[in-house]
Amino acid sequence: MPSLSSLFERASPTGTFNGTPPAHLPAENGVHIWRAAVIMPFITFAFVALRFYTRTYLLKAKKYTIDDYIVALSMLVCITHAVLMAMATYNGMGLHVWQYNEELNARYYLWIGITSEFYVLGLMGFKSALILLYLQLFGVYARFRWACYSTLFFCTGYLLCNLTTEFLGCQPIRKKWEPSLPGHCINSIATATFYGACNMASDLVIAILPLTMIWKLQVASKLQKVGLSLVLSSGLAAWAVAVARWGIATYDLIGTKDRSWWAGVSFTLSILEINTGLICACIATLGPLWKLAYAQVKDWTGWSSPCSSKEKTWPSFVRKPPHSQSSEETRRPSGATVGVHGLPAGRAGGMVIYNESTLTSTYEDEYGLLDASGWHPHGIREDRSYRSREGV
């Protein structure tokens, strides 16, 4: 069985930058960048559209929240990044180092700088959207809220630094793509390694954050906890892509002479990373849509009981007509707030009470996530302060 080093050698042979390629030169990988740049934005746009369909038509949201706007802007960033990456293939991206001349080398590094700015903006977008969603769901728990704020501060901090050093890393700026100019540049290997490590660490923390709350929920079974964990920790997919990209980028910087070819692999993964992250930010909000589809399948296949009433089978996440609302809902004022944080009743971040080692929810969250697909909590403590205010 060939060793890992021989496989890497076979993929991109070693050599010197003298214009003479090795005898067995692998194919260019610009076509893979093109494919990823064309396909991934369409897939991501479908999930973003489903998210806004759920918010607008199923949840009847009267206004969008800040994470909705961040998702929409991130979608535009992903499209722009994909277009620029496709254009970069006409400027040396994915070619072998032996195919370069001085003019093409300058264009190549110029396009790396342009596309990297939008890549960092895409990272900032989906990370922020995921953290803000967690705050809506579990934000009433103080320690978790501060953990989310700390993670958000860390992510925006290192990504803003990345944006700055990518643009101002060389003095003069043109030295980035014209290395013959007098001046100096920061250590690109050290900065790329540092930012890559921060990126992987933040993705892992963002994926683990909701698990700390899910496994304290008083749900009926471990299977439902596993289901919630898979939905809310789907960011692990983005983390896995980030790990693969960081490994390739590190090898490109210190382990190969054919850096432009391996950079093509790395930038293909960058397209996958920001699009996968944005998809993960949308998946967690599609609970009502999946449950509606499940209810429709039950109706079409005859799984539902013939004697079940419309009120009984009405999907719990859809805004119900007045005659189907429960007596508890009709007694509660429309502007009522619950909990010490003054969150509006019915919002996704609603009444999640921390009680010793478990969490309980006093009503269903907006996205139907804490409800765990029809689960009804057992042994929930009454919120006596709320009931006393309502006179119940």
Q: Give residue-wise pLDDT tens across range 33-55.
A: 999 999 999 999 999 999 999 88
Phi and psi at 334, nearest 5°, equal -65, -30
Q: Residue 184 belongs to what H/E stretch?
A: strand 184-185
Q: Give residue-wise pLDDT tens across range 211-231.
A: 888 777 665 567 767 777 777
**C-alpha distance from residue 271 to each of 15, 80, 108, 268 (Å):** 29, 11, 17, 5
User: Given phi > 0 = left and psi -120 to 50 = alpha, else beta, which region is 383?
Assistant: beta
As a whole number, mean pLDDT of residues 62-76 equals: 92
pLDDT at residue 306, rounded to an integer: 45
pLDDT at residue 370, rounded to an integer: 53
Of 131, 96, 110, 124, nearest in space to 21 by CA: 96
Of 342 and 38, the structure prediction assigns the larger pLDDT to 38
User: Would you state the structure tokens that stand for residue 267, as one six-digit string?
Assistant: 């930038």
pLDDT at residue 337, rounded to an integer: 37
pLDDT at residue 263, rounded to an integer: 85
Q: Are 52 and 132 in contact (CB under 8 A)?
A: no
Can you tell me the distance from the alpha carbon of 54 to that of 52, in angstroms, rounded to the nearest whole number?
5
pLDDT at residue 187, rounded to an integer: 87
Determine the topology of domain 25-286 in CATH: Rhopdopsin 7-helix transmembrane proteins (1.20.1070)
Residues 6+ apart with CB under 8 A from 265: 29, 32, 248, 252
Q: Are 370 and 229 in contact (CB under 8 A)?
A: no
Q: pTM (2 decimals)?
A: 0.74
Is pLDDT of 85 > 80? yes
User: What mean pLDDT, rounded, does the chain reach?
Assistant: 74
Residues 6+ apart with CB under 8 A from 176: 109, 110, 113, 169, 170, 185
As a whole number, mean pLDDT of residues 100-106 equals: 84
pLDDT at residue 27, rounded to an integer: 67
Within 181-286, where are the H helices?
Answer: 188-208, 211-214, 222-232, 236-254, 259-283
The domain ranges of the chain are: 25-286, 290-303+313-390
Is pLDDT of 311 > 60? no
Q: Residue 137 belongs to what H/E stretch?
A: helix 102-138
Q: CA end-to-end span of the chain, whole Å?
A: 74
Q: Are 94 and 264 in contact (CB under 8 A)?
A: yes
**Per-residue pLDDT band at 71 (split at 50, 70, 90):** very high
**Per-residue pLDDT band at 333 (split at 50, 70, 90):** very low
pLDDT at residue 64, rounded to an integer: 87
Of 188, 208, 206, 203, nearest in space to 274 by CA: 203
Q: Is 274 exposed, middle or buried (0-12, 13-18, 19+ CB in 10 A)?
A: buried
Tokens 């960081």 locate to: 246
Q: Give residue-wise pLDDT tens across range 139-166.
A: 778 889 999 999 999 999 999 999 999 8
As a whole number, mean pLDDT of residues 288-316 equals: 60
Can you tell me the distance from the alpha carbon of 193 to that of 333, in angstroms, rounded to the nearest whole number?
54
The number of helices, as runs of H, and strands, as runs of E, in the chain is: 14, 6
197-201, 230-234, 285-289, range with greatest mean pLDDT: 197-201
